[in-house]
Amino acid sequence: MSKRIEVENLNVFYGDFKAVEDVTLTVEPRTVMAFIGPSGCGKSTLLRTLNRMHEVIPRAYVEGSVKLDGDDLYGPGVDPVRVRRQVGMVFQRPNPFPTMSIADNVLAGVKLNNRRLSTAKNKELLESSLRGANLWNEVKDRLDKPGSSLSGGQQQRLCIARAIAVQPEVILMDEPCSALDPISTLAIEDLIGELKEHYTVAIVTHNMQQAARVSDMTAFFNLAAQGKPGRLIEIGTTDKIFSNPDQKATEDYISGRFG
């Protein structure tokens, strides 16, 4: 279920503006990679290229390639909708459909993909997705209540359950804890540790402790100057990046000297 992501010589544009320049990196299956760096260096932009969400913005495009187990996501004839089914995404703010029930929220993506399942299969998928997101025990007695009746942290886990339900290969997370309290944040961090047993995970985070806690590999991005594109400065095991980085800019950023 988990696939290797290979980004090669990727340039990412918003019209004439190049936001990210010449990124090459690999995320191995069943690992978590953290994208870190100061505001505006293109972490979220890069993340969104990994499931072709970037191009939904008018005049936005990429050069280079992103491969999933060798298949170029930007190859001719590749359907972006199919890509987004393989590569799920969890956003900064939990975004369940507020009036839809908890159960329908989990199965929303599956229904959108026109997968018709028997009632028994639906129930099975509902339970396994909620268990996978560590939410089952908290909601099993109120599956018909609206998604908005849950706390912020529960809503974020509901969104993770919704992402898992379509059985993706990769899960992308864009600052998934930035709107959550510390307890909910820890619950999501624990969950990320479990998700990587089944999925390849890439996460954007501003929280250095979080990057250190949840990721196996860390990629540090920076801007040469304001208005210039973001570039990958250093990539390595999270242990190395946080204890003995090769680049001074990485060390300065990790130790809070800028950004």
Ligand X SMILES: Nc1ncnc2c1ncn2[C@@H]1O[C@H](COP(=O)(O)OP(=O)(O)OP(=O)(O)O)[C@@H](O)[C@H]1O
For binding to ligand X (CB under 6 A), which residues are involved? 14, 17, 19, 37, 39-45, 57
What distance, in Å, lies between the first and last C-alpha atoms of the chain?
36
Rank residues 19 and 219 by Cβ distance to ligand X and give the closer one. Answer: 19
Cα–Cα distance, 223 to 229 (Å, whole number): 6
The nearest distance, CB 259 to ligand X, in angstroms, is 9
Cα–Cα distance, 223 to 15 (Å, whole number): 19
The nearest distance, CB 138 to ligand X, in angstroms, is 30
The nearest distance, CB 27 to ligand X, in angstroms, is 17
The nearest distance, CB 202 to ligand X, in angstroms, is 13
Rank residues 58 and 182 by Cβ distance to ligand X and give the closer one. Answer: 58
Return the half-sphere exposure (C-beta side, CA atoms, 13 A cut-off) of residue 21.
12
The nearest distance, CB 105 to ligand X, in angstroms, is 26
Which pair of structure tokens corresponds to residue 197? 């047993």
Rank residues 23 and 125 by Cβ distance to ligand X and give the closer one. Answer: 23
Q: Are strands 17-27 and 230-237 parallel, antiparallel or unpaired?
A: parallel
Q: Which helix (H) or strand (E) holds 225?
A: none
Q: Are 221 and 232 in contact (CB under 8 A)?
A: yes
The nearest distance, CB 218 to ligand X, in angstroms, is 14
Rank residues 39 and 114 by Cβ distance to ligand X and give the closer one. Answer: 39
Rank residues 37 and 96 by Cβ distance to ligand X and give the closer one. Answer: 37
Q: Which residues contact 102 (CB under 8 A, 6 or more apart)?
A: 139, 142, 143, 144, 145, 146, 147, 149, 150, 158
Rank residues 33 and 102 by Cβ distance to ligand X and give the closer one. Answer: 33
Cα–Cα distance, 208 to 45 (Å, whole number): 19
Which pair of structure tokens corresponds to residue 6? 């290979």
